[in-house]
Amino acid sequence: MDIKNICLEFPEIAPFSPKDQTDIDVLFSSSPMRLAGLNLVYERSPDFMALLRAQGGEQVSLVGRHNSQLFGLASFSFSKRFIGGKVQNVGYLGDMRIQPSKLSTRLWRDAYPKLLRSGNSYFYTAILSQNELAKRSLVKQKRDSGFRYDFLKKVRMINLLMKKPWARVRSNFFVRNAQDADQKSVKEFLDNFNRKLHLGYCFKEFEWDHRKSNWPNWCFEDFLIIERNNNILAVTLPWAPTTIKRMKINHCPSTLRVTNLFSKLLGAKSLVVGESLSTLYLTHFAWDSSIKCHEAADAFITYLSSSGVFKRHNFVSYAEQDLSEPPAKSFFSFSLDVDLYSVRLTDQSVRQPIDSLIGFEMATV
């Protein structure tokens, strides 16, 4: 991206500096999110850029200031992905926080299309389906802004809280932890799976080594494998991004206090005001044609629950792209829908929704 010339043209915009960390923390704390009845404050301290490094090999974060006051923030991370079976440079747009004003509106309208054009990439982003404010300002624009958001796909995040005490949890699949000798076969399995996806990750050429270096506490021995007759059916890495992003609870409604009571009785982790949620994500999640996503997830989470995973984490979360499939019946759960959009310039062709699976890691968003 031509950041240097854009910052010269728009002097209110500058690349992120570690000196911006404190003001960004204040910006996040001043706009809590409401999620599943909780008021949550998004946290990215002490290293704001750590999450962006986890997302891709190249990162750009821009801050907007007027009279030294922070009024906006936007980030871009780039990685190599499969589109139509071919490797392309793909940019993820995140951290869109703009305080409404005439200045921020003008900058947004004028600078954003130039950033997209200079990026020379396929751009996409994720918006919570319930976030109507973001959709009105970005997707349902009334004025010609020079860019468009085209809907790609809806992904459902399934969040499991604890095992139902009356449920008899059984799995028809054999699950085990990975061993060092499995690295080659797991890497190939992930790469073959992702080649078929829209925006699939290039594990052989880039993504494997990148994640090993930039995902804190990434450990191959933490991978889980479902196999039958020595053939891999599914893999995942249960991973918590707590050191690079967190959601701190600043309000818990009375209805969820009842859930907390059950959590304590069942030995699960409670929701505590002032503490951060701990979510374990099923990342690197891939499966073959003989098993469905929710079947693999059920088997993995059943295996994890036997080792006390719900005592250490508030939720275990995975992405389901077949919205007709139910979550695991043996666990208490709730779901959140995420809408994925392609972001393009108005002079580029309209992009159509995707029927096939799409590459997406909620853990690093």
pLDDT per residue over 172-231, tens digit each? 899 999 999 999 999 999 999 999 999 999 998 899 999 999 999 999 999 999 999 999
Is residue 170 over pLDDT 80? no
**pLDDT for the residue numbered 34:** 78
pLDDT above 90: residue 2: no
Distance of CA 180 to the CA centre of its chain: 27
What's the pLDDT at 255? 67
- Amino acid occupying residue 15: P
Q: How much is the average pLDDT of 102-129?
A: 88
pLDDT for position 266: 74
Cα separation of 332 and 169, whole Å? 13
Residue 103: band (very low, low, confident or very high) from pLDDT cuts 50, 70, 90: confident
Domain tally, the chain:
1
Q: Would residue 221 count as lying in a domain?
A: yes
Q: For 318-327, what is each residue's pLDDT tens digit?
A: 999 999 988 8
In tens, the pLDDT along 47-99 reads 999 999 999 999 999 999 999 999 889 999 999 999 999 999 999 999 988 87
Q: What pLDDT is attached to residue 80? A: 95
Q: Does 319 reside within a domain?
A: yes
Cα atoms found within 13 Å of the Cα of residue 253, Cβ hemisphere only: 8
pTM, two decimals, is: 0.94
Q: Cβ(203)–Cβ(80) under 8 Å?
A: no
Would you state the structure tokens that stand for residue 105, as one six-digit string? 């509106």
Rounded Cα gap, residues 365 and 357, in angstroms? 18
Q: Which of 56, 51, 120, 123 is nearest to 90 (CA)?
A: 123
Q: Which residues on neighbouring strands pair with residue 280, listed in sequence order? A: 316
- Write the CATH number for 226: 3.40.630.30
Report the distance separating Cα 41 and Cα 351, nearest Å: 34
What percent of the chain has a predicted confidence (pLDDT) above 70? 98
What domain range includes position 316? 158-338
- Evaluate whether residue 132 is within a structural domain: no
Query: What pLDDT score was predicted for residue 141?
Result: 73
Instruction: Tell whether 172 is covered by a domain.
Output: yes
Any domain includes 216: yes
- pLDDT band at residue 104 under the 50/70/90 scheme: confident
Looking at residue 142, its pLDDT comes to 65
Q: What is the mean pLDDT of residues 348-358?
A: 95
Domain assignment present for residue 322? The answer is yes
Q: Is 165 exposed, middle or buried (0-12, 13-18, 19+ CB in 10 A)?
A: exposed
DSSP alpha helices (H): ranges in 62-182? 102-119, 132-134
Domain for residue 207, yes or no?
yes
What average pLDDT score do residues 92-108 get?
84
| Contact call for residues 317 and 309 (beta carbons, < 8 A) | no
Return the minimum-mean-pLDDT range out of 114-128, 132-146, 282-296, 341-355. Answer: 132-146
145 within domain boundaries: no
Alpha helices by DSSP H, the chain: 3-9, 21-29, 50-55, 102-119, 132-134, 183-195, 208-214, 254-265, 293-305, 309-312
